Amino acid sequence: MAFGNLSDLLLLGRESDLRSERGVSCDGELPASSEPGLIERAVKARAALGDRAMILGHHYQRDEVISFADITGDSFKLAQAAASNPEAELIIFCGVHFMAESADILTSQTQKVILPDLAAGCSMADMAGAQQVAEAWAYFQKLGIATRTIPITYMNSTAAIKSFTGENGGAVCTSSNAQRAMRWALERGEKIFFLPDQHLGRNTAILHLGLTADDCVVWNPWKPQGGLTDQELLDAKVILWRGHCSVHGRFTRQNVDEVRAKLAGVQVLVHPECKNEVVMAADVVGSTETIIKTVSDSPAGSKWAIGTELNLVQRLARSNPDKEIVFLDKTVCYCSTMNRIDLPHLVWAMENLAAGRLLNQITVEERTANFARVALERMLALP
């Protein structure tokens, strides 16, 4: 099994207990579970589920959860994995709500997607409400630009926003293929309506499409007319939704300058969800998968300051002991909603499922799912 043998997991538990006795360290170690038999219960429940279940673990999950994952990856890779394994009746998605929605959209009707903690949401996805987006689009129609505007929505969005995108001629993108998706959009229209992460949209436009910051405007749903004049909307090439990632939005240019001053020869590697000032000062910019590959393929002795979620940075440091890897921000920052999926919630879900009790199933309404699938399929068809 992907989660290793029982002795390895028990050792992990004892090491966690020792760390807990010493207290949580300044580098962000999490305390151990108060239930000493939790790992044994997890192993037993996982064995009882057998091939009926597949556990998917996002890169930002805690190690205690990742140790039980059959597949790890980013949100779209995991949703694809679920769809590619129709024999798995139960998909236990260790991630956040929008990821589980995407898995439900792409899997068959006989498969059931389970989110161990329904409170595991995404602040970025929540920044773009369906009604707010509909109101913005209605204004674009009134201004006469909707027919010339192609919506592109980031994977980190609700099913409702993906559905809006599919219904209005647009496509979904990931941080890996945002450039291709935005080029595709400009081949079909004059403007892009990019949802919900303003930073990914702006960085892609500037770094890869030859556009400038002046070509981009930000639609603020909390202000009349998005806080923009009609002329600003008419002139813009990219209309960015006012959303951001609460983790990646923390990194600053000051962080970059400080780490360069403290660690000679360090290379700064950041996710494109970071602010433009951070991206422009970095050495390498890339998706989660790109970050992992860049560090893994780098020579021994190389030094990296990484601007992404802390669980992943710590895991990269442990798996690359021949390199010096530090967190770009001097303060600890986990994704708080992603971390809601912990070992107690995973064990609770597995034990109930093993006992025949279906719980925390994520389902997407049929019409919403259909148009969201259209947007996802357009992404898959990108050249």
| 125-246 classified as CATH 3.40.50.10800 | yes
Question: What pLDDT was estimated at residue 285?
Answer: 97
Q: Which fold has domain 6-121+337-365?
A: Rossmann fold (3.40.50)
Report helix, strand or coil for 172: strand
Question: What pLDDT was estimated at residue 67?
Answer: 93
Question: What pLDDT was estimated at residue 8?
Answer: 40
Question: pLDDT at residue 9 above 50?
Answer: no
For residue 3, what pLDDT band results from cuts at 50, 70 and 90?
very low
- What whole-number distance in Å separates Cα of residue 172 and Cα of residue 165? 7
98-116 confidence digits (pLDDT tens): 999 999 999 999 999 999 9
C-alpha separations of 299 from 286, 296, 347 in Å: 18, 8, 39
The residue that leads in pLDDT, 149 or 311, is: 149
* Nearest by Cα to 140 from 213, 197, 184, 192: 192
Region 181-185 average pLDDT: 97
Q: Is 264 exposed, middle or buried (0-12, 13-18, 19+ CB in 10 A)?
A: exposed
* pTM of the predicted protein model: 0.87
For residue 7, what pLDDT band results from cuts at 50, 70 and 90?
very low
Region 48-71 average pLDDT: 93
- What whole-number distance in Å separates Cα of residue 65 and Cα of residue 57? 7
Match 């890869």 to its residue by tokens: 208
Question: What pLDDT was estimated at residue 76?
Answer: 81
- What whole-number distance in Å separates Cα of residue 159 and Cα of residue 371? 9
What is the homologous superfamily of the domain 248-327 according to CATH? NadA-like (3.40.50.10800)
Question: pLDDT at residue 15 above 50?
Answer: no
73-86 confidence digits (pLDDT tens): 888 888 888 888 99
For residue 31, what pLDDT band results from cuts at 50, 70 and 90?
low
Q: Do domains 125-246 and 248-327 have the same CATH topology?
A: yes
Question: pLDDT at residue 26 above 90?
Answer: no
**CB count, 10 Å around CB of 325?**
22
Question: pLDDT at residue 18 above 70?
Answer: no
Question: pLDDT at residue 243 above 70?
Answer: yes
Question: What pLDDT was estimated at residue 382?
Answer: 87
Region 229-238 average pLDDT: 98
Q: Is 307 exposed, middle or buried (0-12, 13-18, 19+ CB in 10 A)?
A: buried
Question: What pLDDT was estimated at residue 1?
Answer: 36
For residue 34, what pLDDT band results from cuts at 50, 70 and 90?
low
Question: What pLDDT was estimated at residue 21?
Answer: 34
Question: pLDDT at residue 334 above 80?
Answer: no
Backbone φ and ψ for 341, nearest 5 degrees, come out as: -80, 95
Contact 324, 304 (CB under 8 A): yes
Tell me the domain boundaries of the chain: 6-121+337-365, 125-246, 248-327
The residue that leads in pLDDT, 74 or 117, is: 117
Region 224-244 average pLDDT: 98
Contact 71, 88 (CB under 8 A): no
